[in-house]
Chain A
Amino acid sequence: MNDFSNANVLLEVKDLKTYFKTDNGILKAVDGVSFTVHEGETVGLVGESGCGKSVTNLSIMRLVPSPPGKIVGGEVIYRGSDIMKLSEKELRSIRGNKISMIFQDPMTSLNPYLRISTQMIETIRLHQDMTKQEARERAVTMLKLVGIPSAETRIDCYPHQFSGGMRQRVMIAMALSCNAELLIADEPTTALDVTIQAQILELIKSICERFKTAVILITHDLGVVAGMCDKVCVMYAGRIVESAPTDELYEKPSHPYTRGLIASVPKMDGKKEEKLFSIEGQPPNVIDLPPCCPFHPRCDKTCEVCRHAYPPVKEVGKDHFVACWLNCSEEERQAALNGGSN
């Protein structure tokens, strides 16, 4: 994997907090997430369903449906300016132009009532000064690039006339048609057949390398991350519990949750009788979470302090950050315990 630590920082997320107001209380979907993306880097965001991966990325684009959602704190700095403070108009000039998104379900993400050509051309003309004809040509080029056969004619079809994989290709073509600098891919392959999944991932990888586009890849599949990403952030219950360069993470997973995740990936070379590893229990309900490590009920190395305070983030290696009490000194734990019980 490449080392991007010297490249320019493209996007920096600092202590992002997004809460949802629900009938049962405040749901802290994202609770203090920080990470950085460098130019051309591919960052993986991994976690179980409901841990806040998608909300994090919607928050970056300020697309969280409000109400009930609200971004209550934090900064998202894109090329020096804070997206959270931009005006609606400035924000629009970034969306789809500098930062694009592709979504989980290609079946519903394209407007079923408009032709592909309409949807692509409008995107291109929105951000670039082109005539309709030029925009159409650009769209056809992009479609060809993502591997749509006979793109000149297919461009005038409606989304329902495409298969799921093809639609996701169209989405990718549309997202990259304005030369975005950052592509946020929100579980782009979850809704697709296994055979198509690999193709789509390969497509994202190659096309982003070609355009030098940075990628935030949201997934729950560690296998995908290993093949694609330069850096991985593991999320649990609205927070990042461990982040590290991919190789480092696989070699030295420091958080029990990460270890569990890696252990539960099925291995081809495993013995047949061997039972698949799984993490016991389920992720917590993030409404009214008491101050504690949210993973402690499922953790096999729980100690007293885990029940009473959230662990601080520690750097355990180069660019390798972990939030776990196991990496803290005894004094720190004692201090937290005393502080927490007062």
Chain B
Amino acid sequence: MTKYIIKRLIGMIPTLFIIVTLSFFIVRIAPGGPFDGERALPEAVKRNIEAKYHMDEPLLMQYGRYMFDVIRGDLGPSYKYKDYDVNTLIAGSLPNSIVLGSMAMAVALVFGISLGVLAAVKQNTLLDYIPMCLAAFGLSIPLFVFAPLLQQVFAMTLGWFPTTGWFMSSDAPLRTALLPTVALSFAYYADIARLTRSSMVETLRSDYIRTARAKGMKNSTIIWKHAMKGAMLPVVSYLGPAFAGILTGSIVVEQVFLVPGLGKFFVQSSFNRDYTLIVGVVIVYSVILIVMNFIVDIVYAYLDPRISYK
């Protein structure tokens, strides 16, 4: 197991390397740069700035310099937010995004798994139809429709929740956090509930569950002790893509509810061609994603003894 973990950790390096390289060159081969635009700078000034950020050097040289910095953990200065470097910008906003994302994931998992199991056990009853209808709805309504609607209905019309803001800096933390979390988690609740239901239904039909019944075990014990592990496997392997989706989805939620997270920087910096900030945000997102995938694999191995990591 330890060996496998180490192997996987080493395996992350090429992926990260490719991500950094790809995003570095994509942003730079495109026409236009961070310092043209707004108003035309005098040629000399522009050259000065470019020299300051080493943009007058050949591309490969810039690349080498950047890679070296990244390995040391320095993501460079921001081109647009003067006097800030990318590390500071990310450090200021990343925690908000992570808190929002993990709350949403937790909500999606708790509700998705419990309601999915309920639906599987109470097949073809109201307790099956209601969660599954909800899930079908969650699957079909895009986040960028759902989030504004929630805001409109519950915050503006009914006035139950604050419309925007972020709970870490608010006096009613729970009420502020609820809407963004619900909005972000809904689609993943839908996927997880459907996945849990179908794999639970299939597991409950399997031979070893029949054996457990023949042994005279209680239904609840059968579900939680015998069926749960097997039924959770597809859900666990879905978590990797789900994390990726929550990362992207948080861009919308952060925009609608004005959460001071990383997503805002990402879209803005792409428009601004703030090279270092774009690549920095991509690196951070990728690291989160890769680490999450890694954890998912470990959990999978823990759940399924048949997988041997040699």
A interface list, Cβ under 8 A from B: 61, 63, 65, 91-97, 100-101, 103, 105, 108-114, 122-123, 126-127, 158, 160, 171, 174
Contacts and interface: CB of A to CB of B under 8 A. Distances in A.
A105 B207 contact: yes
B206 A96 contact: no
A113 B211 contact: no
Interface in B226-259: 226, 229-230
Contacts of B205: 65
Contacts of B217: 92, 96, 122, 126
Contacts of B218: 92
Interface stretch (B26-34, B191-199, B301-309): B301-309
A174 B305 contact: no
B208 interface: yes
A109 B216 contact: no
B212 interface: yes
Interface size class of B (residues with CB under 8 A): 20 to 34
B171 to A, nearest CB: 47
A65 B214 CA distance: 12
B207 A114 contact: no
Q: Tell which of B208, B217, B221 has the most Cβ of chain A within 10 Å.
A: B208
Given A111-B226, A112-B306, A160-B305, A126 B216 contact: yes
A109 B208 CA distance: 4
Contacts of A61: 214
Nearest to A111: B208
Nearest to B233: A113
Nearest to B214: A101
Q: Tell which of B205, B210, B214, B306 has the most Cβ of chain A within 10 Å.
A: B214
A122 B226 CA distance: 11
B39 interface: no
Majority DSSP secondary structure for residues of B touching A? helix
Contact of A95 (B214, B221, B226, B306): B214
Q: Which 7 A-B pairs have the closest CB atoms?
A: A95-B216, A96-B215, A96-B216, A108-B207, A113-B229, A111-B208, A92-B216
Q: Tell which of A91, A105, A113, A171 has the most Cβ of chain B within 10 Å.
A: A113
B22 to A, nearest CB: 39
B213 interface: yes
A332 B222 CA distance: 53
Given A112-B306, A113-B229, A114-B229, A126 B215 contact: yes
27 contacts: A63-B214, A92-B217, A95-B213, A95-B214, A96-B217, A100-B215, A103-B207, A108-B207, A109-B207, A110-B208, A111-B212, A111-B230, A112-B230, A112-B304, A112-B306, A113-B229, A113-B230, A113-B303, A114-B225, A114-B229, A122-B225, A123-B215, A126-B216, A126-B217, A158-B305, A160-B305, A171-B211
B226 A109 contact: no
Contacts of B212: 111
Majority DSSP secondary structure for residues of A touching B? mixed
Contacts of B210: 63, 103, 109
Given A108-B208, A109-B207, A111-B226, 7 more contacts: A65-B205, A92-B218, A108-B206, A110-B211, A122-B217, A126-B216, A127-B216
B233 to A, nearest CB: 9
Contact of B305 (A100, A112, A123): A112
A174 B226 contact: no
Contacts of B216: 91-97, 126-127
A105 B215 CA distance: 16
Nearest to A161: B305
Contacts of B215: 95-96, 100, 122-123, 126, 174
A91 B217 CA distance: 10
A160 B309 CA distance: 15
Q: Tell which of A94, A96, A127 has the most Cβ of chain B within 10 Å.
A: A96
A214 B226 CA distance: 29
Contacts of A112: 208, 230, 304-306
A109 B211 contact: yes
Contacts of B229: 113-114
Nearest to A120: B215
